[in-house]
């Protein structure tokens, strides 16, 4: 790794006016979460027996898991397929995935009726091997562990050679530094195992989230129910991995006054049409095989959402990513990427509550203000911790300054 490619802390002022606003939003959302913890789901949400899964599952969990796919797709690209020129994107993508999965677990805790039992899947005597949701939970727990192990060398790199314990503890500086170097050496020798495990675990639980919808054929709209739902969830998550890396990279570049890594992102965007085209082909093939295209013009909520999330926010970005002019433009890249990221968000929301219609529901589900507040607060918390991490840890590569 050359000096210009070396990752280093950004080292900017942390609490800017924008960060103070973000902090207020984060604390407000987390305050709503605490209120839910003490006063039950009914006090904050519009969830009930007919609609047990709503905004929190659709956005905080299902969308969060999908958008964190950049971690395993970029790791696979660099370390499995040996595309070393994409190395600059791996660390920020890994951090985004780590934060995404961490807050998926936190968001799920708020959504559980008995939130204090969230630890039960980790106890073998409580396992239920016949449950798809159990498999999702176990894979998420294992992959989150893998992500923390994969991220630990970045933390070690920050402190190796810089151990400076205060006062009488200073005599342990050399011993602590030697321990950190040994841990870094051992992790370097076995990291390939965790990278491969991360890719496999991600594929398992991405598809299993889709498998959850297969058991509700009479509750989901035909445009969104399919026996191939596991394949749709997996292929759409793989396809959104690189666009999410592009969004994260451009936002961090603009936020920290850095020159966008357009040369790397442009090369990355050339791979996206292949992955996105695979998802589109699966979706269209299933639609025409089952004849569900007849529902496209019924103008129900589900069909309108389908036109928006698939017709506009998926197919259009597919063609945008094929344009060399767009791939050379930071603005064009961001537009195409954020469109498909939004498409995945709408798709997951459609599957879990928009296109979900229980036969005995007395009223439609509309998320409560408290649900929106917590979701926005969790997103703000992710942005807050991301800024803290890149400010104090070597996550982003040293860039050339803007002219």
Rounded CA gap, 33 and 23, in Å? Answer: 15
Q: Name the residue among 344, 305, 93 with its Cα closest to residue 198.
A: 93
Instruction: Give the pLDDT confidence score for residue 400 in this predicted structure.
Output: 52
Instruction: Convert the chain into a string of H (helix), E (strand) and C (coil).
Output: CCHHHCECCCCCCCCCHHHHHHHHHHHHHHHHHHHHHHHCHHHCCCCCCCCCCCHHHHHHHHHHHHHCCHHHHHHHHHHHCCCHHHHHHHHHHHHHHHHHHHHHHHHHHHHCCCHHHCCHHHCHHHCCCCCHHHHHHHHHHHHHHHHHHHHHHHHHHHHCCCCCCCHHHHHHHHHHHHHHHHHHHHHHHHHHHHHHHHHHHHHHHHHHHHHHHHCCCCCECCCCCCCCHHHHHHHHHHHHHHHHHHHHHHHHHHHCCECCCHHHHHHHHHHHHHHHHHHHHHHHHHHHHHCHHHHCCCCCHHHHHHHHHHHHCCHHHHHHHCCHHHHCCHHHHHHHHHHHHHHHHHHHHHHHHHCECCCCCCCCCCCCHHHHHHHHHHHHHHHHHHHHHHHHCCCCECCCECC
Instruction: Give the pLDDT confidence score for residue 5 in this predicted structure.
Output: 56
Rounded CA gap, 327 and 339, in Å? Answer: 14
Supply the Cα-derived Rg of the chain in whole angstroms.
22
Retrieve residue 231's tokens: 């394949």
Rounded CA gap, 259 and 183, in Å? Answer: 34
Is the separation of the CB atoms in 397 and 6 below 8 Å? yes
| CATH topology assigned to domain 3-386 | Formate dehydrogenase/DMSO reductase fold (1.20.1630)
pLDDT tens over the chain, length 403 residues: 443 457 788 877 888 888 999 999 999 999 999 999 999 899 999 998 888 889 999 998 899 999 998 888 888 888 888 888 888 888 999 999 999 999 998 998 898 888 888 888 888 888 887 888 888 888 888 999 999 999 999 999 999 988 888 888 888 888 988 999 999 999 989 988 998 898 888 888 889 889 988 988 889 999 999 999 999 999 999 999 999 999 999 999 888 888 888 888 998 999 999 999 999 999 999 999 999 999 999 989 999 999 999 999 999 999 999 999 999 999 999 999 999 999 999 999 999 999 998 888 788 899 999 999 999 999 999 999 999 999 999 998 866 554 4
Retrieve residue 323's tokens: 């344009």
Give the domain ranges of the chain.
3-386
């Amino acid at each position: 790794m050359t000096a210009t490619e070396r990752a280093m802390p950004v080292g900017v002022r942390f609490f800017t006016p924008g960060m103070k606003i973000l902090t207020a939003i984060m604390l407000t959302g987390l305050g709503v979460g605490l209120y839910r913890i003490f006063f039950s789901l009914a006090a904050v949400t519009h969830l009930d027996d007919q609609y047990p899964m709503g905004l929190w599952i659709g956005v905080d969990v299902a969308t969060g898991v999908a958008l964190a796919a950049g971690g395993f797709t970029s790791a696979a690209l660099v370390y499995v397929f040996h595309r070393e020129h994409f190395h600059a994107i791996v660390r920020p993508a890994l951090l985004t995935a780590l934060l995404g999965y961490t807050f998926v677990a936190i968001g799920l805790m708020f959504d559980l009726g008995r939130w204090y039992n969230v630890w039960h899947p980790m106890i073998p005597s409580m396992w239920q091997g016949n449950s798809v949701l159990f498999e999702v939970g176990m894979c998420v727990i294992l992959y989150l562990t893998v992500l923390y192990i994969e991220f630990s060398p970045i933390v070690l790199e920050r402190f190796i050679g810089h151990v400076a314990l205060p006062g009488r503890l200073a005599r342990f500086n050399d011993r602590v530094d030697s321990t950190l170097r040994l841990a870094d050496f051992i992790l370097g020798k076995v990291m390939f195992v965790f990278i491969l495990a991360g890719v496999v675990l991600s594929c398992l639980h991405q598809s299993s989230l889709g498998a959850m919808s297969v058991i509700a054929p009479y509750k989901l709209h035909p445009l969104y129910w399919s026996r191939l739902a596991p394949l749709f969830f997996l292929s759409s998550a793989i396809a959104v991995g690189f666009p999410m890396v592009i969004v994260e990279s451009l936002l961090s570049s603009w936020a920290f006054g850095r020159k966008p890594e357009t040369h790397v992102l442009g090369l990355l965007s050339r791979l996206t049409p292949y992955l996105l085209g695979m998802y589109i082909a699966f979706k269209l093939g299933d639609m025409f095989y089952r004849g569900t295209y007849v529902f496209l013009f019924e103008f129900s909520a589900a069909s309108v959402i389908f036109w928006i999330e698939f017709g506009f926010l998926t197919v259009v970005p597919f063609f945008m990513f094929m344009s060399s002019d767009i791939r050379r433009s930071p603005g064009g890249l961001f537009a195409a990427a954020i469109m498909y990221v939004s498409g995945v968000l709408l798709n997951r929301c459609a599957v879990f509550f928009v296109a979900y219609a229980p036969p005995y529901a007395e009223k439609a589900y509309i998320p409560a203000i408290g649900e929106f507040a917590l979701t926005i607060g969790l997103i703000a918390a992710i942005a807050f911790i991301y800024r803290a991490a890149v400010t104090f840890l070597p996550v982003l590569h040293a860039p050339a300054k803007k002219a």
